[in-house]
Amino acid sequence: MNLLAVAVAGRGLVDPHAPVFTADDEALLRGRAVFETARVYDGAPFRMDAHIDRLGRSAARVRLPAPDADECVRLADGVVKAAGVSDLALRFYWTGTTLVATAAAVDPALEEQRARGLRLAVVRWSTGALAAAKSTSYAENMAAQDAAAELGADDALLVAHDGTVLEAPTANVWWREGERLLTPSLELPILAGVTRAVVLELAPTLGYEVEEGSFPLLRLATADEVFLTSSIREVMPVSAVDGAPIPLGEGAIALQHALRSAAGVPSTT
């Protein structure tokens, strides 16, 4: 990720390549820290209140004090203005002692991926206590992505050992059956995505019924279309699962348009 601006609570803007965490910070020693990533459209962070709220929930889950929400807003404003680019990936890090905001350019390869669809590989997954928190203890998630890449895929589809579909390492998963959209329930050990919540709002306006639940992999594999949602990837179509083709459908396209419209910017599709 190409960092364009970094700000630290109590210090303000710093050199993007300068160290911001001390060597004795538990974020490094124990991996006990949380983070949050939001998309910035035309200089405005999208659903930032929801992201800051989730940062606080993640902190509580790993027994850290809550971050200062007002300071998050101030830091975000500083890095977005300093970055000099209107479309950004905004990220917060909170270690319990250090609060950092960063702004980075969005990977242009995402639009090429959106056009062809992602290839997913199924990775069997045993969830831990931090499954619903955005903790920086993401080594297992990254290992799942590496395992998928070794199989020639773009990303992993995390599936419980009993065959229940969960999520992707950094995204929620959806699929369409006719006019119905299905997605794993938050009662499962998955992350409550902010973009997932936006899609839940937008789907009925496009004529789709949404069903949240516990679903087997076969249900997804035989769907009319499959897509992922996340703040930076937005609505990302899936073109294959374990090498089996998945049709690219109109649902992902319509939801991408609606998401961009909700953000107040033109759609890229």
- Supply φ then ψ for residue 60, to 5 degrees: -60, -35
Taking the CA atoms of 182, 36, 142 and 64 in sequence, report the sign of the dihedral they define.
negative
93 and 116 in a common domain: no
pLDDT at residue 132 tops 80: no
Closest CA to 221 of 253, 244, 252: 244
Report yes or no on 186 lying in a domain: yes
Q: Is 128 inside any structural domain? A: yes
Antiparallel, parallel or unpaired: β 155-160 and 118-125: parallel
Q: What CATH number does the domain containing 55 carry?
A: 3.30.470.10
Q: What's the CA gap between 10 and 207, in Å, rounded?
A: 48
* In a shared domain, residues 144 and 83: no
- Asked whether residue 61 is domain-assigned, the answer is yes
Residue at a domain's end among 56, 86, 105: 105
Residues 252 and 187 in one domain: yes
Regarding whether 206 and 129 lie in a shared domain, the answer is yes
Residues 100, 33 share a domain: yes
In this structure, the answer to whether residues 132 and 51 fall within a common structural domain is no
Q: Quick one: which of 46, 35, 51, 36 has its CA closest to 87? A: 46
Which residues partner with 184 through β-bridges? 213
Together in a domain, 43 and 123: no
pLDDT of res. 256: 97
CB 93 within 8 A of CB 70: no
pTM of the entire predicted model: 0.94
Q: Where are the beta strands (DSSP E) in 61-216?
A: 88-94, 99-105, 118-125, 155-160, 165-167, 172-177, 180-184, 209-213
Residues 170 and 79 placed together within one structural domain of the fold: no
Q: Measured between alpha carbons, how far is 187 from 162 in angstroms, rounded to an integer?
A: 16
CATH code of the domain in which 243 resides: 3.20.10.10
**Of 16-25, 47-56, 173-182, 219-228, minimum mean pLDDT range:** 16-25
Tell me whether residue 268 is in a domain: no
Name the average pLDDT for the chain: 94
Q: Do residues 211 and 175 both lie within one domain?
A: yes
Distance CA 155, CA 129 (A): 23
**Domain limit, last residue, from 105, 129, 164:** 105
Amino acid 142: pLDDT:
87
Answer yes or no: do 123 and 101 share one domain: no
Are residues 227 and 238 in contact, defined by beta-carbon separation less than 8 angstroms? Answer: yes
Question: What number is the average pLDDT over the span 68-72?
Answer: 98
**Domain assignment of residue 36, given as a range:** 3-105
Note the pLDDT tens digit of each residue in 160-217.
999 999 999 999 999 999 999 999 999 999 999 999 999 999 999 999 999 999 999 9
* Distance separating alpha carbons of residues 234 and 231, to the nearest angstrom: 5
Q: Same domain, yes or no, for 73 and 131?
A: no
Q: What is the pLDDT of residue 267?
A: 76
Domain-ending residue, one of 73, 105, 137? 105
In angstroms, the CA 190 to CA 121 distance is: 18
Helix (H, G, I), strand (E, B) or coil at 34: strand
Count up the domains in the chain and report the number: 2
The reply to whether 269 falls in a domain is no
Question: What's the average model confidence in pLDDT over 231-244?
Answer: 97
* Whether residue 100 sits in one domain with residue 114: no
